[in-house]
């Protein structure tokens, strides 16, 4: 029997009472319903070597390759997400939705912890449904008509992938990925509206300059991650998170210098935001 424990009043739930490697079709369907209700779900103490991790991911969607970094040996869709003890910058250490600069961004991300620091390295998550719903009616009307250009080349996020590109860059990676998406997207499964901008990738509004866009984007970046929209997850070895990139931002905290944090990540194919 699945036990669901919310992590906060607004986002995130920990699911216990299941071995994901042996989950039935009914279990997977139930987890998907819980996931759609909570944006991100977590599991502890899962034994998921790469083959089992990939098999599990395929039960939720279609794994896709990350555009910048090669997958681990034998598994092109599983990328290493790590920070070595001598490194100072963590991979993806900024509020974002994964690869929102792609024309068809991923629906979801699955992340499993292999080795974790003795302390630190938690991940924050933010609910973009609530971020949209908390806006005034006038702001909603303005944003509903806007589109935003997302770029892979913003300076802060580029730095957070430098170490992994140095160690394992894909030979076919482009230097730049850009896509234009609605500022407010409608979730294709729940029908709810969510803000779809983030400080890592949102560059400017379509048909505007970066300078013209900056004041409103700056407000949205701060608004999206108000504490009441968030939860915080403390990792343990064997823990797994599954989050919905269509309505969720995340931010891994870089507070464990001198320690190793090693994870494996799979992203699942999505649809074009609308």
CA distance 89 to 2: 37
Phi and psi at 83, nearest 5°, equal -135, 120
Catalytic option among 181, 187, 261, 265: 265
End-to-end CA gap in the chain: 36
Tell me whether residue 96 is one of the annotated catalytic residues. Answer: yes
Which pLDDT does position 75 carry in this prediction? 98
Domain boundaries in the chain?
3-268
Closest C-alpha to 68, from 182, 171, 200, 214: 171
The residue annotated as part of the active site, out of 96, 161, 185, 261, is 96
Measure the CA–CA gap between 271 and 249, rounded to whole angstroms.
17
- Among residues 187, 246, 250, 261, the one annotated as catalytic is 250
Q: Given this model, what pLDDT does residue 60 score?
A: 98
User: Mean of the pLDDT values across residues 20-39?
Assistant: 98
**H or E element, residue 64:** strand 63-64
Mean pLDDT of 116-131: 98
Which is higher by pLDDT, 81 or 1?
81
Q: Give this prediction's pTM.
A: 0.95
- Specify the CATH class of 3-268 in words: alpha beta
Residue among 98, 181, 187, 244 flagged as catalytic: 98
Q: Is 98 a catalytic residue?
A: yes
250 is catalytic: yes
What would the DSSP string read from start to end of 22-37?
Answer: G--HHHHHHHHHHHHH
């Amino acid at each position: 029997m699945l036990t669901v424990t919310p992590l906060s009043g607004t986002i995130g739930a920990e699911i216990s009472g299941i071995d994901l490697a042996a989950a039935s079709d009914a279990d997977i369907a139930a987890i998907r319903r819980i996931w759609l209700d909570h944006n991100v779900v977590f599991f502890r103490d899962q034994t998921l070597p790469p083959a089992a991790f990939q098999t599990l991911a395929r039960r939720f969607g279609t794994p896709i390759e990350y555009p910048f970094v090669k997958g681990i040996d034998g598994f092109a869709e599983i990328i290493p997400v790590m920070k070595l003890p001598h490194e100072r910058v963590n991979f993806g250490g900024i509020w974002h939705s994964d690869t929102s600069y792609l024309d068809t961004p991923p629906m979801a991300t699955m992340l499993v912890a292999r080795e974790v620091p003795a302390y630190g390295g938690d991940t924050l998550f933010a609910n973009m449904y609530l971020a949209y719903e908390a806006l005034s009616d006038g702001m909603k009307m303005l944003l509903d008509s806007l589109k935003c250009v997302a770029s892979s080349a913003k300076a802060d996020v580029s730095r957070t992938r430098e170490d992994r590109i140095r160690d394992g860059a894909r030979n076919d990676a482009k230097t730049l990925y850009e896509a234009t998406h609605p500022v407010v997207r409608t979730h294709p499964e729940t029908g709810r509206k969510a803000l779809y901008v983030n400080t890592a990738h949102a560059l400017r509004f379509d048909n505007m300059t970066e300078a013209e866009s900056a004041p409103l984007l700056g407000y949205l970046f701060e608004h999206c991650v108000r504490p009441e929209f968030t939860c915080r997850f403390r990792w343990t070895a064997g823990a797994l998170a599954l989050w919905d990139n269509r309505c969720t931002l995340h931010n891994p905290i870089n507070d464990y210098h001198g320690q190793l944090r090693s994870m494996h990540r799979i992203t699942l194919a999505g649809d074009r935001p609308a």
